[in-house]
Structure 1
Amino acid sequence: MPRRFLLRYGAALLLPILCTLLVFPFSHFLEAGILLLYVPVVMVAAWFGGLGPGLLSTILSVVFTSYFFLDPAYSFVIRSAEDVAQLVVFSFVAFLISLLHTAQMRAQRALLDSTEKIRLIVDGDLDAVVSFDRDGLITQWNPQAERQFGLPVSEALGQKASTLLFPAPARQTFDQGLKEYVLRGESGLLNRRMELTAVRRTGDQFPVEVVVIPIHAEGTVSFSAFLRDITERSRHESEMLALQRQLEERNSWLSLVFDLTRAANEAETPQQIFGFAIRRICEESSWIYAHVYLPEREHPDTLVPSVYYHSPDRRRFREFRAASLSRPLRSGAGAAGRAFASGSVEWSEDIRRGPGYGEDDPFVKAGARTVAAFPVRVGQETIGVFEYFSLEVIPKHETLIHLMGVVGLELGRVLERQRLQEGYSEAVWEQQRVIAQELHDGLGQELTGLGFLSQSLADLIREPEAAGRAARLTDGLKRALEQIRGLARGVSPVADEGDGLMTALAQLAESTTATYGVPCRFDCPEPVNVEQNPIAVHLYRIAQEAVTNAAKHARPRGITIGLRLSDEGLALCVADDGIGIATRNGRSGGSGLRIMRYRANAIGASLTVESSGGGGTRVSCILADNGARTFPTEVKP
């Protein structure tokens, strides 16, 4: 049998016996009050053993009393009704006492068990649990709080909670929240989840999630705070946010690459795609100024700015812009020159600390900090450089470097396409020049000689009929010679001389007036020499196409062919005062316009067709690079 069982019932058996032995000598003096002496016995038995031992001690108390102390003594016969009533009342009271003591004992045991469970839960909780009174003094400090804050419970108890838990800036707010609840019964600090900064014993700060709840008991209020260390969660959230930002950034850059690829396929000139590229890249990041360096035609080792972009603050970057546009770079000089020479990215995070930029440098004066140069490549050849400036210090961005490599390859294909067009045009022109040379110098000279010989023979013939035949032969040879010369001029309409374009355009104006009856004049205030004959031929063909379209379709009263040098480069303009391109074409394009654009692209020029202010149409062709120098083109923000 269990030991506890024997102890409980053994005590219930011994207590009535001991009480009887103690009372027996004084039984004559106590008489009717003897049963009252057994009440403590029943209470002790019930308190120690519960209901069963209490009932056992009650029964034994009744048996001992009736046998030893009620008349007749030493007999279980009870003659007095009063004695029976006393025994019944005692038994009932003793039963109630046993029952109440048992219930109380069970309640106390349940309370102890519950308290122990709560203690175990609190001690084993993953959160730090800190309880404190209405004054904020700590009354409970669980093991997790010890580990989390590095402070043993012996040192924490009785200390100010706000002082141990939070750094100085947050303590006053925490104490004020508790005070508000104590005074008014409400506070924004309690009963809600908060993310705060806690402090360890070492002074290290870390993020915690805090919930503070009030506990009302015994006419007062206390508080319990549950603090969870969210360092790992915050780190994961930060990493997720960083990954999300990185994903958004890469999506943005991929969208940019897609747009640049599409624009590269649609661009008519390299200047257009370069302008689009630097503007979009500046808009996507912190760059405020950018330009594209291309090698000069005559001096491939010298870089000159071709296209540039800057923020709307023109006054601030006036000197900056002037300096960047007026400084040709040698290969290997400056960030752009080094990128051109090496074919790799040059990135200076802070030009104020790096070599090559002094305090008087206009870039430094304008507030520039970071400069990055990205090469434009075709295969293993570097054919241009992007250079970007920022007012902020930008760390080296590997994603941007990789994407700019892709952009550089796409733009390199545009330049390569232009090169192929120029090569094709030069090959065609060379073939045409050879044909024209053969027609003029070969067949033309042969016909000229035959003409002189025919004329000499005609002069010797005296017979009228034969002389007439000889004259007709001479005239036929002259007409054939004129046709050959016309073919030669059609194949190569511009003489291979510096002023050949001016002469050819003047002849075009005269022939247009004679052919169509429309007044056409050539306007060239100052001499414009084009040394490269292929470029001159393309410009002539553009002017010829524009003049022919105007004379045939615009019904103009006059046509003007203009040729001059401007700040933008060599400018060719054909203007008429007719009905306008939209009215005569019904659309903005046509085969003639496509041919003009093709020829402009072949020589790296830009072509615009627009309505004139007073009516009519204006066709403008701007050649930024006239074989010797580059005229930078601005990209508007």
Structure 2
Amino acid sequence: MTQRPAADVALLLRLEHAVAEILTAPQAAAAVLDAIGQALGWSAGALWQVHGGELRCAATWSAPGRDFAAFEAATRTLTLAPGEGLPGAVWRAGEPAWVREFGREASFPRAAAAATAGLEAAFCFPLLSAGYGVEGIVEFFTGRLEDPPAELLGTAKSLGRRIGEALARARADEAVRRSEAQLRAVLDSALDCIVIADADGTVLEFNPAACRTFGYARHEAVGRELAELIIPPQLRQSHRQGLQRYLESQQPRVLDTRVEITGMRSDGTQFPVELTITRVAVEGRPVFSGYLRDLSAQHAAAEELRASRRRIMEAAVFERQRLERDLHDGAQQRLVGLGMTLARARTALPDSPARAAAILDDAIGALEEAAIELRNFARGIHPSSLTRYGIGAALADLARRSPVELRVGDLPGERFPAAVESAAYFVISEALTNVARYSGTDAALVTVAVEDGRLVVSVADEGRGGADAQLGSGLRGLADRMAMLDGSLEVHSPAGQGTLVRARIPV
């Protein structure tokens, strides 16, 4: 066995400074192993890092001109628990360790690979940080059987602290980067507007949803006062007063509460928004996060619902008046006339039986006409064939009376609830009336099918198109009828390309 001379103290100091500079560079692990290994004449080395409850190899190194590929491969694929192998033992003890005849230590997982590679001795020291403890382990191997110089132990501890603190900073920096990336991903993917502002009301963050809703680019919003940016002029003073009141008293009035207020877009238009303000848990002056949701669509839907209900009520009143007028002008007048005819027959009966018989014949004819008129009247309200036999029979009757040629596709054989069949029938009837009046064609195709729990009714023509469901009272009335059944009505009518009316009614 050859005796190695004592380490040069100046060399060890230079080594510490060199490692300190390397730690500021990327890919520092491999560079640290190379600097230490070459300076101190080691043959191979490895750097381990703590991941959860185990050690994993972060980098390996071998001296120039030396080939330890098999040993390095065994090292890179290994994971060690506390106390397992030389790195695990140093991890548990927290102190440097030197092992002679490393390849003969059967308890070490890589003993056989080390013996094959001719690596006889190993030196291992921990990488320590003040906040975490053992951050990792560095180990080196040599073929010489000798004890390490005393100065090396002190240098190893100093290097271990330097490298350990660097690893801790790198882990903290990575955690910050990951946290910032996650925060940015959350902000970018949020459907609601997220606006973060400081205690002065200055915007610190403005996510993409806020950009789309309020009409600002992020760089236009960040750094500006929130009140001037998205709050209407008439509300700015109260906003500023409320912020100042909270800063002085720390007594919240609207924090963590959903409120509905008015917001302002970049073009000055105002719209309703739902707002929730929370205080962000950071040290120092308060930071606030506002979550805003545009309520314009909800308000429009609510207003349309109210308008639909008004139209339904008005349509019901109009329909009652129409029924009263039709009855008065039609069947009621016939029945009054029938009564007068029967009165004449009674007067003529004793003196002129033949004349009375003729008058009764007229009365019978008038009665038959009144019955026909009442039957037609009732059919207009709700066809009896629909009630008795379903949508197929009702469509057959409608086809016979329709002013346009009606082509009917396959029909479902089952019956549906009366309200569903009635709605489907009147969609078809109204659509055919529109075809006859406005389309400029004399044919239409009707299809009825069940899709995904809904009865889908379609009426298509190849006429002039241009129908508008918002302008026509008939189509608007059908849409209201569909809404009452939680259904929907679609009208596709490009100019010159025909019209398709499609209703979807839950069954």
Please give the range of the TM-score, normalised by the shorter of the 2 chains: 0.3 to 0.5
Higher relative CO (Cα under 8 Å, sequence separation at least 6) belongs to 1
Larger Rg: 1
- TM-score, normalising length from structure 1? 0.34
- TM-score, normalising length from structure 2? 0.42
